[in-house]
Amino acid sequence: MTMVRMTLDDDVLDAATQRKVAVALFNRVWDLLDSGDGRSAEETAEMLDAAHASRYLWRRMGGEEQAIVGEWQISRAYAAAGLGLEAVRHANVSLALLVAAEGELPDWLTASVHEGLARALLANGDGAGASAAIREAAALAARITDAEDRDLVEAQIAELISDDA
C-alpha cells in the first residue's frame, strides 16, 4: 500500500479553521495543565500532543510571539508531565526564539519565557539553575507595565518559589 502524504498546504484546512483549531488546542492544554495531579496518563499524553499541534499551527500562521509562546507552552506541558529534559529543551528553544526576535514583543513575554525556563529546570532537578532563572523572571516581571499581565506572571513565578523552597 502506498501512503499519500498530505500537508495543510493542500487546502485541508483554511486559515480561519487553522486558527480556530490552534486556539482550541492551546486552551485544551491549559485545561489539562489546570487538572494538576488529577490528570490521567491518557490526559497527559493528550496534553503533550495538543501542545505540539497548537504550536505547529501557530508557527504556520502566527508570528514570532506565537512561536515563542508555543514553545513555552510545550515546555510547561513537559514539566507538568515530569519530563524535565524535554521541558528544558523546549524552554531553551523558546528563549532562543525570543533572543532572535526582530519584531516588537509584549513586555510580559520575556518574563514568561524566563519563568518557563525556571519551571523546566525545576522539573529536570536543577535547583540552582532554576533559582537563577526565577530571580531573572522576577526582575523582568517587575518591569511589566500592565498590572494584570504583571500579576499573572508574578503569580506563576510565586508557584515556582513555593515549589523551589
Residue 6: inside a domain = no
Residue 5: inside a domain = no
Residue 10 has pLDDT above 70, yes or no: no
Residue 7: inside a domain = no
Residues 6+ apart with CB under 8 A from 33: 47, 76, 77, 80
Residues 6+ apart with CB under 8 A from 52: 74
Nearest to 52 by CA among 67, 33, 31: 67
Percent of the chain with pLDDT over 70: 92
Query: Residue 91 has which C-alpha cell?
Result: 524552554
Residue 111: inside a domain = yes
Torsion of CA 15, 21, 27, 28, to 10 degrees: -160
pLDDT tens-digit map of 114-148: 999 999 999 999 999 999 999 999 999 999 999 99
Q: Which residues of 54-74 are buried (b: 16+ CB within 10 A; e: fewer)?
A: bbebbebebebbbbbbbbbbb
Residue 2: inside a domain = no
One-letter amino acid of 124? N
pLDDT tens-digit map of 65-108: 999 999 999 999 999 999 999 999 999 999 999 999 998 999 99
> What's the mean per-residue pLDDT of the chain?
92
Give the mean model confidence (pLDDT) for residues 9-30.
Answer: 87
Residue 1: inside a domain = no
When divided into structural domains, the chain yields a total of 1
Residue 59: inside a domain = yes
pLDDT score recorded for residue 37: 86
Residue 23: domain span? 13-164
Q: pLDDT confidence of 11, banded at 50, 70, 90?
A: low
Q: What is the CATH number of the domain that holds 113?
A: 1.25.40.10
Residue 56: inside a domain = yes
pLDDT score recorded for residue 109: 97
